[in-house]
């Protein structure tokens, strides 16, 4: 009986294809080819009416058995393939629980902030309070009220970032804007004198900006700490005692200070303060360029002009002021040879402090 044999052959071919299907997608193609709407076995089931009556029972039985066998084989193969695919997916996404975890790193304060706070603490201990001023400042506070004559070299475009209007035009007759990024924290002195009545004992830490190219001893943005004292009977002796105390607190009791005459527009007399080199103890070495001393700040007695411009009577009051670079102090304290190292963000370097 040709039909029964054909069905048997189809059954064997289909079962073989089921076994060979490599994945569930291939298996589905086998299913559609055999049992889909126009599948081969479905075709036999549909055309049973055309089979001669006497053969119909046998053919029907063969086709039905073939269908059941194929369906069972499909189900078994499907289960096996799905299990294999799931196992492969689990393998691919496997997490190695024996690897060490990634611990959260705890941050620390940056050395620049630490030194600024350390200096502030020293002065808070002496009864000073902390004052603040704007980083975007006017010419008046940054220069004029600090007695910087109009032709003072620091006022030229070379040192100062001027803020210009939208068209890029400078805002006043000298070819400079009236608005600038402060080049020093000394302007906070003026704000403090305008805002407070003497006695004034303030320090003012903050960022300042200069048109400098970064190199080992210059940064276009850095941090300063300004100090201002205005009271009755303040002398240069008070200034010396205060700054000598600061240096010993910061660097160690054994360090010496020296005051060298200097010029600043807003103080008279003015001085630069050096602290004895902590590496050679004054003998002279590479770190102090053979001098035995390290320059750490500028200071002086507040010029009477500066007092009166800010509404303080210089006949009644006198005062002193000082200003220091925090990055420079950090480098001097820890023998760091290049200011830029503080800002490079190299954690191996920064974690040391």
Binding positions for ligand DAH, rule: CB under 6 A = 184, 186, 226, 264, 267, 298-300, 321-323
Strands 129-130, 200-209: parallel, antiparallel or unpaired by DSSP?
parallel
Cα distances from 170 to residues 8, 29, 153, 162, in angstroms, run 97, 77, 18, 8
Q: How far is the CB of 212 from ligand DAH (least distance, A)?
A: 12
Walk across the sheet containing 257-264 and list its strands: 129-130, 200-209, 221-231, 318-325, 293-302, 267-276, 257-264
Residue showing the smallest CB distance to ligand DAH in the complex: 323
Q: Residue 139 CB, nearest distance to ligand DAH (Å)? A: 15
Nearer to ligand DAH, 30 or 246 (CB): 246
Per-residue 3-state assignment (H helix, E strand, C coil) for 12-30: HHHHHHHHHCCCHHHHHHH
What single-letter DSSP state applies at residue 215? B
Q: How far apart are CA 156 and CA 143, in angstroms?
A: 11
Nearer to ligand DAH, 176 or 226 (CB): 226
CB of 277 to ligand DAH, least distance (A): 21
Collapsing DSSP states into helix, strand and coil, what is residue 325?
strand
Residue 219: CB minimum distance to ligand DAH, A: 13
**77 CB contacts (<8 Å, ≥6 apart)?**
18, 19, 21, 27
For residues 267 and 276, which CB has a smaller minimum distance to ligand DAH in the complex?
267
Residue 161 or 353 with smaller CB distance to ligand DAH: 161
What is the 3-state composition of the chain as percent helix, strand, coil, each rounded to the nearest 5? 45, 20, 35
Cβ proximity to ligand DAH: between 35 and 329 the closer is: 329
Rounded least distance, CB 337 to ligand DAH, Å: 21
* Closer to ligand DAH by Cβ: residue 41 or 200: 200
In eight-state DSSP terms, residue 101 is P
Give the shortest CB-224-to-ligand DAH separation in angstroms.
6
């Amino acid at each position: 009986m040709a039909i029964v044999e054909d069905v048997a052959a189809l059954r064997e071919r289909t079962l073989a294809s089921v076994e060979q299907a490599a994945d569930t997608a291939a298996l589905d193609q086998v299913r559609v080819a055999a049992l889909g709407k126009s599948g081969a076995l479905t075709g036999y089931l549909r055309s049973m009416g055309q089979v001669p009556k006497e053969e119909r029972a046998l053919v029907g039985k063969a086709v039905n058995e073939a269908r059941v066998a194929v369906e069972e084989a499909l189900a078994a193969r499907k289960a096996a393939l799905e299990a294999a695919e799931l196992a492969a997916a689990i393998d691919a996404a496997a997490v190695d629980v024996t690897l060490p975890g990634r611990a959260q790193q705890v941050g620390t304060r940056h050395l620049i902030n630490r030194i600024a706070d350390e200096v502030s603490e020293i002065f808070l201990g002496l009864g000073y309070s902390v004052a603040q001023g704007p980083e975007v400042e006017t010419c008046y506070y940054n220069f004029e009220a600090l007695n910087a004559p109009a032709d003072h070299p620091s006022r030229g475009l070379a040192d100062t970032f001027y803020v210009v209007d939208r068209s890029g035009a400078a805002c006043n007759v000298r070819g400079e804007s009236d608005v600038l990024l402060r080049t020093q924290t000394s302007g906070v002195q003026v704000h403090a004198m305008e805002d407070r009545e003497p006695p004034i004992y303030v320090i003012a830490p903050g960022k300042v900006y200069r048109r400098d190219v970064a190199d080992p001893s210059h940064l276009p943005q850095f941090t300063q700490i300004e100090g201002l004292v205005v009271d009755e009977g303040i002398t240069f002796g008070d200034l010396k005692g205060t700054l000598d105390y600061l240096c010993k607190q910061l660097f160690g009791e054994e360090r010496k200070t020296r005051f060298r005459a200097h010029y600043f527009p807003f103080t008279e007399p003015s001085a630069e303060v050096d602290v004895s080199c902590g590496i050679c103890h004054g003998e002279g070495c590479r770190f102090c360029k053979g001098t035995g001393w390290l320059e750490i700040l500028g200071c002086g007695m507040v010029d009477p002009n500066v007092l009166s411009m800010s509404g303080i009577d210089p006949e009644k009051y006198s005062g002193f002021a000082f200003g220091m670079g925090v990055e420079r102090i950090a480098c001097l304290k820890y023998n760091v040879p290049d200011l830029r190292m503080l800002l490079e963000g190299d954690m191996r370097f920064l974690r040391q402090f």
